[in-house]
Amino acid sequence: MPTEHPIDLRSDTVTRPTPAMREAMARAEVGDDQFGEDPSINRLQDRVAALLGHEAALWFPSGTMADQVAIRTLTRPGDEVLAAREAHILWHEAGGTSATSGVQINEIGPGGGRFSVDDLLGALKPVAAMYPPATLVSVENTHNRAGGVVIGVEEGAALAGAARAHGMASFLDGARLWNAAIALGVAPADLARPFEVVAVSFSKGLGAPGGSVLAGSTEFIAAAVRYRRMAGGAMRQVGFFAAAAEYALDHHLERLAKDHANARLLADRLAASPAIELDPSAVQTNIVIFRMADGAPDAPTVVAAARAAGVLIVAFSARTIRAVTHLDVTRDEVADAAERIVAAAESAARG
Ligand SMILES: *Cc1c(COP(=O)(O)O)cnc(C)c1O
């Protein structure tokens, strides 16, 4: 089977820099970023701050570190953070939120990546010495584990506004905010401006080899610099990453629409199989999460069968599987992968 060059739909993080991106990286002017002297990093930070409608921005090696530093800067140990169910900060950051910030996360809302202002207000505990104060509201856009779910402009602004009205900070975990903006046809700033602090990533759909940014007020960024250093994330000649990020913003942003169309193509084909449960209309961006139907094999079995057939996907739980479209897979490859996943699910079902 064609396992030597599998169609890799495990994540949009598997993309490799294109030849043109590598050239831009090789040409990057660099300096010591801890002295504030990396011109490429400085230019990227200014550009992204403006793109997100914020005063200032700070580069990080990873999205997880950006999230952790944002939470560390906006909370105190013992505080409570309100977030949608299955948030990345709770599920995918190795327990870092409680280990490094000493906060507890309260998962609120019905699931599906969102919660309402009523859910938020309903989660607030009385103000008394026995209760942890909720000091931060975190919104993930797009929401990864819910399947790339998009939070709209007004919906996000209402949540950030409710947080502010109740003396809480607001954080937008926007690792895939670019996908949300493209899906909605709005500017990233429309989604980012209402929030006190915003994280975005260049190594997901944009296809850069690494790098994330936090944007916020000048005062917030000055405080975050210290916690980035504490986390070991203050680096030196990282302008090479900034050059990749700038290249990605110039050349890989608008094309995210193709990934979204390819995800819908994949979802439509998978939904036609009796072994798979999936509502294709729920697929809004580049993430497809589907459930193995009752009587069909479990997720690890189908993932292994797909791998043997040359398609890489990941088991997200015992019966759910995630597939992600990206820059390095063509529409034809996605269509081919859909057929092979269906065959894997149905042949595994026959045992
Ligand atoms: C991927 C992701 C992150 C973390 O990014 P890394 O660069 O992998 O550390 C944070 N939040 C969300 C919603 C993500 O999808």
Q: How confident is the model at residue 65 (pLDDT cuts 50, 70, 90)?
A: very high
Give every strand in the sheet of 320-324, ordered side by side: 276-277, 287-292, 320-324, 314-315
How far CA 195 is from CA of 20, 46, 103, 202, 346, in Å, comes to 34, 18, 20, 20, 45
Q: How confident is the model at residue 2 (pLDDT cuts 50, 70, 90)?
A: low
Which ligand 1 atom is at minimum distance from the Cα of 87?
13
Cα(89) to centroid(ligand 1), Å = 9
Mean per-residue pLDDT, 267-293: 97
Which ligand 1 atom is at minimum distance from the Cα of 64?
9
Query: Is the Cβ atom of 206 under 6 angstroms away from ligand 1?
Result: no
Quote the CA–CA distance of 212 and 351 in Å, as a whole number. 44
Query: Is the Cβ atom of 88 under 6 angstroms away from ligand 1?
Result: yes
**Type and span of the H or E element at 161:** helix 153-165
DSSP letter at 316 equals -
Looking at the fold, whether 247 and 260 belong to one and the same domain comes out as no
Which ligand 1 atom is at minimum distance from the Cα of 210?
7
Query: Is the Cβ atom of 259 under 6 angstroms away from ligand 1?
Result: no
Statement: residue 348 has pLDDT above 70: no
CATH number of the domain within which 163 lies: 3.40.640.10
Q: Among residues 224, 251, 278, which one ends one of the domains?
A: 251
Looking at the fold, whether 213 and 274 belong to one and the same domain comes out as no
Looking at the fold, whether 109 and 211 belong to one and the same domain comes out as yes
Q: Among residues 231, 251, 271, which one ends one of the domains?
A: 251
Q: Whose CA is nearest to atom 8 of ligand 1?
A: 63
Strands 314-315 and 287-292: unpaired
For residue 250, the one-letter residue type is: D
Quote the CA–CA distance of 5 and 9 in Å, as a whole number. 12
Looking at the fold, whether 263 and 214 belong to one and the same domain comes out as no
- How crowded is residue 154: how many other Cβ atoms within 10 Å of its Cβ? 11
Statement: residue 83 has pLDDT above 70: yes
pTM of the model: 0.96
Residue to substitute in 85, 92, 214 for testing ligand 1 pocket (most ligand atoms within 8 angstroms of CB): 92
Q: What's the total number of domains in the chain?
A: 2
**Type and span of the H or E element at 185:** none
Is 283 within a domain?
Answer: yes
CATH number of the domain within which 328 lies: 3.90.1150.10
What is the percentage of the chain residues whose pLDDT exceeds 90? 97
Statement: residue 351 has pLDDT above 80: no
Using alpha carbons only, give the angle 50, 193, 30 rounded to the nearest 5 degrees: 30
What are the tens digits of pLDDT across the range 243-264? Answer: 999 999 999 999 999 999 999 9
Residue to substitute in 64, 197, 326 for testing ligand 1 pocket (most ligand atoms within 8 angstroms of CB): 64
Q: Whose CA is nearest to atom 14 of ligand 1?
A: 175
Looking at the fold, whether 211 and 330 belong to one and the same domain comes out as no
Statement: residue 350 has pLDDT above 80: no
DSSP letter at 138 equals E
How far CA 281 is from CA of 36, 207, 227, 315, in Å, comes to 46, 26, 41, 21
What are the tens digits of pLDDT across the range 149-204? Answer: 999 999 999 999 999 999 999 999 999 999 999 999 999 999 999 999 999 999 99
Average pLDDT value for the chain: 96
Mean per-residue pLDDT, 338-342: 98
For residue 175, the one-letter residue type is: A
Statement: residue 4 has pLDDT above 90: no
Cα(343) to centroid(ligand 1), Å = 31
| Phi, psi values for residue 173, rounded to 5° | -85, 90
Query: Is the Cβ atom of 67 under 6 angstroms away from ligand 1?
Result: yes
Looking at the fold, whether 51 and 141 belong to one and the same domain comes out as yes
Is 91 within a domain?
Answer: yes
Q: How confident is the model at residue 3 (pLDDT cuts 50, 70, 90)?
A: low
What are the tens digits of pLDDT across the range 295-304? Answer: 999 999 999 9
Is 11 within a domain?
Answer: no
Is 214 within a domain?
Answer: yes
Looking at the fold, whether 343 and 199 belong to one and the same domain comes out as no
Identify the domain containing residue 107 by its residue range: 19-251
Query: Is the Cβ atom of 64 under 6 angstroms away from ligand 1?
Result: yes
What are the tens digits of pLDDT across the range 90-147? Answer: 999 999 999 999 999 999 999 999 999 999 999 999 999 999 999 999 999 999 999 9
Query: Is the Cβ atom of 68 under 6 angstroms away from ligand 1?
Result: no
Is 3 within a domain?
Answer: no
Cα(70) to centroid(ligand 1), Å = 13
Looking at the fold, whether 240 and 295 belong to one and the same domain comes out as no
Return the pLDDT at 347.
85
